[in-house]
Amino acid sequence: MKRGLAVAAIPALAFAYLLSLAPAVSDGAVLRATVPWLSAAGIDLAFSLDGLSLVFALLITGLGAFVVAYAWAYLADDPKRSRFIAVLLAFMGAMLGLVLADDVIALFAFWELTGVCSFLLVGHAHHREAARQAARQALVVTAVGGLALLAGLLMLATAAGGTYSLSAIVDQADRVRAHPLYVPAFALIAVGAFTKSAQFPFHFWLPNAMAAPTPASAYLHSATMVKAGIYLLARTDQALGDTAVWTWTLVGVGSVTMLLGAVQALRETDLKRVLAYSTITALGTLVVLLGTSFDASVKAVVVFVAVHALYKCALFMIVGIVDKVAGTRDVTRLTGLARAVPWLGAAAAIAGLSMAGLPPMFGFIGKELTYKAKLGFEAGGWLLPLIAVVANALTVAAAAILVLRPFFGRAREPVARVSVGAALGASPVVLAVACMAFGAFPHLIEPLVAAAASSIVGRAIPVEVSLWYGAGPALFLSVVTVVAGGASYVAWRQWRVDGAGARSAGLGARVFEATVAGVARCAARVAGGLERIGATGIAGLAFALVVAGAVAGASEGVPMPDRVGAVWLSDIVLGGVAVVGAVVAVRARSRMTMLVAVGAVGVAVSVWFVSLGAIDLAMTQLLVETVVVVVALGALRVAPRAVTRSASRRRRWPVVVATLAGAAMTMLALGIVAGPVASPASDYYIAASAAEAHGRNVVNTILVDFRALDTLGEIAVLVLALVAARAIARPPGEGRASGAGPSLVAGTAARAFVPLLAIYGGFLLVRGHNAPGGGFIAGLVIVVAALVSELAGRRAALARLRPIRIAVAGLGVAMLASILSLFAGGTYFEGVWGEVAGVAVGTPLLFDLGVFGVVVGVGIGATSGSLEVRTCS
Amino acid sequence: MIAAVIAPVLVLVGAAFCLVAAVGLWRMPTLYARMHAATKAGPVGAGLVLVGVAVASSDVDHTARALAVVAFLLATAPIAAHLVGRAAHRREEDQS
């Protein structure tokens, strides 16, 4: 518990700090800070704190402290608690960044980070299919919205004259609204906001996200993340608002969302889903208010955001405790809990009254302001207030469902007292008390609301927050709401308790799932087709494309070198060996002969490379050839030994295609030789290798320095491929040794040669920057050493290796090497060099070490166990 | 002067052994006999060529490398022959 409080102190301290800034911000000051990021592109991590940002930041940190304390107790038995809390805190950072960012690109980055954190939190119980599916759905919907948002923000920046600064864009409001990109920019930004804030028709992900542990639902999916869309709309109101498109889009979508959420909330029986749909109603209300965007509605937005965050967070926490105490969240099975845990009943009653909007709770103020705003929007006529009354009446009924029945309903059997730990109970009680305190003393928040409302509309507006605005039309609507809500609740009790209402997935969710299933079916069909074509067919297709490309290129004339350089005897001999090997491979009846012949081609090519001075290439080729032959030998042990006559007849087409492809490649090579012999790039590399990259082996300096980013991408792909391959074909852990025991002679020899090979690998790694070698070749040598070990029957020595860990560690080292220069004041991937005992040492060498690790891990992981005979007895 | 005579002879003899081994691999009737022929190509054939290189080269570095390769050939070829023979023997046992 103490540790829980210590972690909760992090957001609490941030809250206290932000609160200390409140007086200055209330006076209209805007605090700014900028960290250079991609300054060359005009993008910086620019932050600004004005009234609007401050209200959101206070909610994020204040509620965050309570949620963390609550989550610590709530997940006391969960082995993944630390992970959960860590992601929660990461989310908090991202969300703070989102509401403080003054740069649209930074805002987008934080926006996506919140979505990723949400994905991880919803999928916390990832052993459950439902949680995984809900997590995926939430991620896809909000990420698609995020992409729309990015496009919209870029258009907005263009419309505002190319600035990425939000405050500068707002200053250009008139220019933006007159720009032809205004409508598409607004539409895309609105899609982003609507997906994040669960507006119709994207609302369906939010109820499903209730698969998240309750603390995450309380924090992300009611109080903070889903308000990001509201924040975005409020933030862009000045630049984009006040047009007919803005007003009617927001009012229309918001109204539909309000009604839909309110009706759907009554059809649910799971308390969390009831809460989720009532959240959708609240978000719809906020969108409508922003759509009308005049002084009264902006005030209402700010107050209602705080009101909703407080009561909804408290109610979620209470539902979480109910879940723990009663073992169910099914509203039809819960009654009389107030007798079991009286103080929880009191807290629930307060939060519920605030939700229903009854005095003297904070919620009453929020609802009064909302009604006043909607009555004041004359263009809406009587329709908006009517929709609001219906939605709010249903919300009153939902509050009654959440609180009245589970806590104060007549229990069928006597209820025993249940004790709930203070650690778990403290947070919701404090939040419930806050619901009441802000209702009783609303002037406490007056300056903050004024500052936030002013920063939305861009000019100072007077704000008076009070519990009693006098008897007027708004009060009349409130009375109507409560009466209608009570009546709805009575009707619901009849309908729900007597007849069970069936719940079906909404249209949006069905469309989404159908799309996902369709994509999966398409992928399966493509994969199935590729499987039927087979490896030969796929290779044939690739070669056929090469031929087609060559034919297309040849139509423009084939460039021919005007003279052929001297042909050496070695060229003829080696080329001859390769040709003979290829012919033998094609004509062979035995697979073993085929393999040996293909190996001969590889060796001939390697020696050819040596004769042309390409030592690095030759070493790589030879090592790869060795590994391939050994692995293929392992595969041959389970394949039929001889090739059947029909199979050899089927080889005719591949021979034709391969011959044509060979001709095409020859043409290509001749074409390249016909051009200038040395390109400016190779001249540059040769000149700069020793001077700039501190290495004389140009092949290596290109790999680890000049084109290191390419290498990083390639080794990342290798690691991913290894992880996938190990998952698909898990090598047998304790397989039976093939044959009748290992050979003593081979085993003894391996004891001597494997360490020698390992030392040789290390030697190649160390010298690689200046002489033939390097991480890639050295890694392959180690792989060969491992294969020798396995061939000699020393499997036990290899079994302890963890190839995936080695590969991932290598990737980690490579990535570390890429960013080390940042700490030395350089740019990403810039080599940092120093001298240790007279030897130049730099980050590219560390990067080479990472490459070495990846090759060792991937090589051993992909080949170990390939010599195992898998008998299906 | 002696090296100038000995080195080409060594290389030629080594190459001749390789040729004989290749013919043996092609003409010999049984696996054991073919194995016997093939194993000669490495240590004896290639080995003699390498010794010739070592003799001809005035560079200590090259001489040392050539001799190291001979050492590795001598150490590994018998093991390879042993493994092949062992596998063949095993299979005969299985079939009988």
Name the token pair of A786. Answer: 């491992």
Contact A753 B83 (CB under 8 A): no
CA A671 to chain B, closest CA, distance in angstroms equals 38
ipTM computed for the complex = 0.86
Please give the C-alpha separations between residue A843 and each of A25, A699, A708, A806, in angstroms, as whole numbers.
46, 17, 11, 20
Quick one: closest CA in A to B94, which residue? A739
Partner A contacted by B90 (CB < 8 A)? yes
Partner A contacted by B80 (CB < 8 A)? no
Q: What is the pLDDT of residue A503?
A: 53
Cα separation, A760 vs A758, in Å, equals 5
CA B73 to chain A, closest CA, distance in angstroms equals 12
Using DSSP's 3-state secondary structure scheme, residue A201 falls into coil
Partner B contacted by A745 (CB < 8 A)? yes
| Digit-coded pLDDT (tens) for B10-63 | 999 999 999 999 999 889 998 889 888 888 888 899 999 999 999 888 888 989
User: What counts of helices (H) and strands (E) characterise chain B?
Assistant: 4, 0
- Angle, helices A569-587 vs A591-611, to 10°: value is 160
Contacts of A753 in chain B (CB under 8 A): 75-76
Q: Is the peptide bond before A360 cis (omega within 30 degrees of 0)?
A: yes
CA B3 to chain A, closest CA, distance in angstroms equals 25
Q: What is the pLDDT of residue A496?
A: 65
Decide if A220 contacts A226 (C-beta within 8 A): yes
Partner A contacted by B79 (CB < 8 A)? yes
A300 φ, ψ (degrees, to nearest 5): -60, -40
Decide if A85 contacts A72 (C-beta within 8 A): yes
Partner B contacted by A741 (CB < 8 A)? no
Decide if B41 contacts B23 (C-beta within 8 A): no
Contacts of A746 in chain B (CB under 8 A): 79, 82-83
- Among candidate residues A312, A157, A299, the one with its CA nearest the CA of residue A226: A312
**Residue of B73, B82, B90 to mutate for A, most A C-beta atoms under 10 A:** B82
Give Cα A785 to chain centroid, integer Å.
39
Partner B contacted by A749 (CB < 8 A)? yes
Contacts of A740 in chain B (CB under 8 A): 90
Using DSSP's 3-state secondary structure scheme, residue A676 falls into coil
Decide if A123 contacts A132 (C-beta within 8 A): yes
**Residue of A745, A784, A794 to mutate for B, most B C-beta atoms under 10 A:** A745
Query: Nearest-5° angle of CA A334, CA A335, CA A336?
Result: 140
pLDDT along chain A (873 residues), means of 10: 83 93 87 84 87 94 94 90 93 95 93 93 88 89 92 92 88 88 93 92 88 90 90 91 89 92 87 92 93 85 92 93 87 82 89 87 86 79 85 90 85 72 88 89 87 87 77 82 88 66 62 84 86 80 86 75 74 91 87 88 92 89 89 77 63 82 84 69 81 83 88 94 81 49 81 90 89 90 89 73 90 91 80 78 89 92 67 36
Decide if A69 contacts A5 (C-beta within 8 A): yes
Contacts of A739 in chain B (CB under 8 A): 87, 90
Decide if A311 contacts A351 (C-beta within 8 A): yes
Partner A contacted by B91 (CB < 8 A)? no
By Cβ distance, the residue of B79, B87, B90 closest to A749 is B79
Contact A740 B79 (CB under 8 A): no
Contact A746 B83 (CB under 8 A): yes
CA B93 to chain A, closest CA, distance in angstroms equals 12
Decide if A280 contacts A257 (C-beta within 8 A): yes
CA B4 to chain A, closest CA, distance in angstroms equals 23
Query: Nearest-5° angle of CA A350, CA A355, CA A361?
Result: 50
CA B79 to chain A, closest CA, distance in angstroms equals 6
Quick one: closest CA in A to B72, which residue? A753
Which residues, at least 6 apart from A119, have a Cβ–Cβ distance to it below 8 Å? A135, A136, A138, A139
Window 680-739 of A, Cβ < 8 Å to B: 739
Contact A743 B75 (CB under 8 A): no
CA B83 to chain A, closest CA, distance in angstroms equals 7
Contact A746 B75 (CB under 8 A): no
Give Cα A42 to chain centroid, integer Å.
25
pTM, whole model, 2 decimals? 0.73
Contact B79 A745 (CB under 8 A): yes
Contact A739 B90 (CB under 8 A): yes
**Residue of A596, A637, A753 to mutate for B, most B C-beta atoms under 10 A:** A753
Contact A743 B83 (CB under 8 A): yes
| DSSP states of A475-527 | HHHHHHHHHHHHHHHHHHHHHHHHSPPP----HHHHHHHHHHHHHHHHHHHHH
